[in-house]
Structure 1
């Protein structure tokens, strides 16, 4: 799968590394080209860094920026002048205060991400207290959908800290033959195909996808992140504040 990651922080790096190891084709873009190139180098062979402005209509990117190492599968003809390639999914992994700037830079309001799965992993939350910075009745994922008309927005990967995915894969394996219980990643979205794409990517980082419902459930998931963050900053293990419930 071809994945464009918007963001260069710890979550972008942790998920990007796992997806690269799973064989996905990764492109990184961020507000700082230096940081995007540095992340591409850390993620390894074939990962490409591009400016935000080179992400064009339909989520396509102009692959003129170097991959690391500079050669990529298919040779020079595959990435020659004027060549374009389409992303299958876009991960939005930036601070919530920078989301609108990033989406406008890639041309999302004009339809640049139309038809693509856009995974919103952001939290519009005051991290010290876990308060959602949104008016009642709205969600950040729905705001992303408004800024990126035509995109199939899915809320996912916002609840776990990046350290969860930076740990060795053995610590989060989804292998059903293991005695280890892999983490569950709750997701929501309106487009069935986008949900399937996201479920696939959740499994590829060693977790179990759990579809909660449509994008109208995003507010609930974002509030849950605020609850977890508030407990963590208070020195309380969030898992101790959730009752063990029998499952069907």
Structure 2
């Protein structure tokens, strides 16, 4: 698969490294040509500008902070690609800066009507995506996906599996805000309170009162 990576930060490197190792063809695009070239060399990809990465991929990873992601989505040359939004609109106090309005994913989709946005990879720290694979207590990590286009979802499911993870349908893009709120809650527990956030949910057998 051809994958464009828009951005040169930690998420771009973590996911790009795994996908390059899985045999995909990558092009890293950044505003800073030197940073894009350096990242591309580290992960075994080509380098270019933001527009080059967007035009290159069958799937495009939008690996930018939320504010920059919306701005970039509005100008990128996207023509029907799967656009993966991994951003978290989390501000001070681990609150959503999008509270009361559309989700980050919806705002990105509205800014880029030529793309099929899939919300994914936003719940975990970039360090998790560097694990090969992310398996905990013998159980592969599950990655929830929100999107409206089945073709785009199919591509992203393949990319999830390339990480050694299991994709799970979390609904259409209208539910992406729930994923973003989940990330805000978990980050607040992990970082703000030092709590093992996994401990807040019972095993599935007990989730609805059964056992």
What TM-score does the superposition give when structure 1 sets the normalisation length? 0.78
Q: Which whole-Å CA distance do the structure 2 matches of 1:155 and 1:101 have between them?
A: 17
SS at match of 2:168: strand
Q: Which whole-Å CA distance do the structure 2 matches of 1:16 and 1:123 have between them?
A: 19
- The answer to whether the aligner puts 1:199 opposite 2:186 as a matched pair is no
Q: Which whole-Å CA distance do the structure 2 matches of 1:17 and 1:158 have between them?
A: 17
SS at match of 1:118: strand
RMSD: 1.9
SS at match of 2:26: strand
The structure with more helix, counted as a fraction of residues: 2
- The answer to whether the aligner puts 1:133 opposite 2:75 as a matched pair is no
Structure 2 residue ranges without an equivalent (≥5): none
Match of 1:236 among 164, 175, 195: 195
Q: Which whole-Å CA distance do the structure 1 matches of 2:2 and 2:73 have between them?
A: 19
Instruction: Report the equivalent of 1:50.
Output: 48
Instruction: Report the equivalent of 2:62.
Output: 92
User: Deviation per CA, 1:77-126, whole angstroms, max 9, x where unpaired?
Assistant: xxxxxxxxx4210001111121133234xx33xxx212110010000112
Alignment of 1:40-79 (within 5 A): 40-44=40-44, 47-54=45-52, 59-60=54-55
Instruction: Report runs of 4+ in structure 1 exceeding 3 Å deviation.
Output: 170-173
SS at match of 2:170: strand
Which structure would you say has the larger Rg? 1
- The answer to whether the aligner puts 1:25 opposite 2:25 as a matched pair is yes
Q: Which whole-Å CA distance do the structure 1 matches of 2:79 and 2:8 have between them?
A: 23
User: Deviation per CA, 1:120-171, whole angstroms, max 9, x where unpaired?
Assistant: 0000112x5321101424110000001101210000000011111112x144
Q: Which whole-Å CA distance do the structure 2 matches of 1:118 and 1:181 have between them?
A: 28
- Number of equivalences: 206
Cα deviation, residue 53, structure 1 = 4.1
User: Deviation per CA, 1:13-51, whole angstroms, max 9, x where unpaired?
Assistant: 11101000000001101222221111111102xx11101
Match of 1:172 among 132, 135, 141: 135
Cα deviation, residue 244, structure 1 = 2.1
Cα deviation, residue 11, structure 1 = 1.1
Instruction: Report the equivalent of 2:89.
Output: 124
Structure 1 residue ranges without an equivalent (≥5): 61-85, 174-178
Instruction: Report the equivalent of 2:80.
Output: 115
Instruction: Report the equivalent of 2:108.
Output: 144
What TM-score does the superposition give when structure 2 sets the normalisation length? 0.91
Cα deviation, residue 220, structure 1 = 0.7
